[in-house]
């Protein structure tokens, strides 16, 4: 989870990712941010995030993103 947090903080240093729980729903992360985040996660964790995984529930919080990464690393 720390790696995910670091990636997010590098992407958007103006956001308190530890507190935010609706990153996509509240418009904190936009589509460009998500594309950049997906690329970083793919490279950092050697995973492939598929279009079917690109739903707000998977990207609304650090916890949700970390769970997605963990799930994809197990596959």
Task: Provide the pLDDT confidence category of residue 75 given band limits of 50, 70 and 90.
Answer: confident
Q: Which pLDDT belongs to residue 39?
A: 98
Count other Cβ atoms within 10 Å, centred on residue 41: 22
Domains, in order of start, for the chain? 24-74 (1.10.1200.10)
pLDDT higher than 90, residue 45: yes
Residue range 21-29: average pLDDT?
96
Alpha-carbon distance 75 to 62, whole Å? 20
Count other Cβ atoms within 10 Å, centred on residue 61: 20
pLDDT higher than 90, residue 56: yes
pLDDT higher than 80, residue 1: no
Percentage of the chain beyond pLDDT 70 is 100
Alpha-carbon distance 9 to 14, whole Å? 8
Cα dihedral 72, 45, 51, 38 sign: positive
For the chain, how big is the Rg over CA atoms in Å? Answer: 11
């Amino acid at each position: 989870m720390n790696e995910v947090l670091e990636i997010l903080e590098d992407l958007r240093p103006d956001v308190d990712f530890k507190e935010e729980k609706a990153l996509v729903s509240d418009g904190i992360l936009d589509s460009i941010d998500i594309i950049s985040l997906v690329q970083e996660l793919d490279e950092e964790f050697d995973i492939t995030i598929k279009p079917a995984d690109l739903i707000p529930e998977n990207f609304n919080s650090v916890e949700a993103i970390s769970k997605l990464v963990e799930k994809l690393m197990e596959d």
